[in-house]
Amino acid sequence: MTYTASVVGGSGFTGGELLRLLDGHPEFEVVQATSRSYERKTVGHQHPNLRGMDLRFSSPEDLESVDALFAATPHGVSMERIDDFSDAADTVVDLSADFRLDTEEQYDEWYDGHACPEYLEKSEYALPELNRENLPGADLVASGGCNATATLLGLKPLFDAGVLAGDEQVVVDVKVGSSEGGAGGGAASSHPERSGIVRPYAPTSHRHEAEIEQFLGLSVSFTVHAVDMVRGASATCHVFPDSPVEKKDMWGAYRDSYGDEPFMRTVAGGGGVYRYPEPKAVAGTNYGEVGFEIDPKNRRLVVFSAIDNMMKGSAGQAVHAANVALGIEETAGLEFQGLHPVGAP
């Protein structure tokens, strides 16, 4: 069966990744990509890797009727236009933060409120490793934040295995690439300003803490650094369990949580250069890597997690969730590996 799809915000970074994925997907046909700035230009004009695609940007005001609408627009757009999106499509998959949290109060606390709180209880968080059972048949799917996704994927097995109960101290340090800021990332993302940096850009109170808290029931001490890469999010989680943990139990925990997951890989030690998760190893793919090391002297467990922010952290996660929501083979269109060797992602 073929499902028609549109991408609102198709000229942006995650919009481009959605178009790349959907164009190569065996069961989607892209019928519309919108951009106000590049209306009537080919999608290849903005995304040179997609020059072979026979599609031109159109206005987001004239939405085609489709089976699935992917919204890759800045925070606030989807909540204003959700009625239009829902009229145009049976399934709406939103990549912004507009429908990730459960309650209006959370949006008051972490964002600037919410324009249509009545939709919040209808939306499902997209990350299948967390929320697969709620996705089939969902009308509104909210793709997770990339920093939150990296953190949640790293820590979830510890909750599943009872290593963490929710009252322990957890310190999370995330390093992210410049594409996280989108195509209009501004001065902080311009090449001369960004080159060579390791810059704390959200030392405290990052909004993604809300998603992490919502799913794990754990308040994490969360800091994000902007680093000199284009793609990738790498989370290092310093965990202080109440009782000592052993390596074999940790392997068991990660195997139990992710052994059957099609897009998760556990990488913890071993030989060679790539001994722990690194964004470079998953760049351009929907794979996520997790790993750990135990520091008995300090009663510390260090958990590493790496994703491509524009794939597992947004567009890949969104297509994965759409597959599950629509009853398509879960891995369809996403099973390709990355490149190696490759330059900075």
Ligand X SMILES: NC(=O)c1ccc[n+]([C@@H]2O[C@H](COP(=O)([O-])OP(=O)(O)OC[C@H]3O[C@@H](n4cnc5c(N)ncnc54)[C@H](OP(=O)(O)O)[C@@H]3O)[C@@H](O)[C@H]2O)c1
Note the residues at the interface with ligand X (CB under 6 A): 8-15, 35-38, 60, 72-75, 77, 95-96, 145-146, 179-180, 182-184, 309-310, 313-314
CB of 190 to ligand X, least distance (A): 14
> Could you confirm whether 146 is annotated as catalytic?
yes
Q: Which is nearer to ligand X, 71 or 245 (CB)?
A: 71
Q: Which is nearer to ligand X, 74 or 137 (CB)?
A: 74
CB of 115 to ligand X, least distance (A): 13
**Collapsed DSSP state (helix, strand, coil) of residue 107:** helix
Two structure tokens written together for 333: 């269109």
Residue 285's closest CA among 266, 257, 309, 268? 309
How many whole angstroms from its chain centre is CA 129? 12
Q: Which is nearer to ligand X, 69 or 163 (CB)?
A: 69
State the Cα–Cα distance between residues 219 and 212, nearest whole angstrom.
8
Q: Which is nearer to ligand X, 145 or 279 (CB)?
A: 145
CB of 8 to ligand X, least distance (A): 6
Catalytic residue among 146, 174, 267, 290: 146
Q: The sheet that has 66-71: what strands, in order across it?
A: 57-58, 28-34, 3-8, 66-71, 89-94, 140-142, 123-125
Q: Looking at beta carbons, which residue is closest to ligand X?
A: 12
* Cis amide linkage into residue 74, ω under 30° from 0: no
Which amino acid makes up residue 33? Answer: A
The H or E element containing residue 5 is: strand 3-8
Let me know: does 236 contact 173? Beta carbons within 8 Å. Answer: yes
Q: 287, exposed or middle or buried, with CB in 10 Å at 0-12, 13-18, 19+?
A: buried
CB of 47 to ligand X, least distance (A): 10
CB of 208 to ligand X, least distance (A): 10
Strands 233-239 and 170-176 turn out to be antiparallel
Q: Which is nearer to ligand X, 184 or 259 (CB)?
A: 184
Could you count the other beta carbons within 10 Å of the beta carbon of residue 142? 28
Active site residues: 146
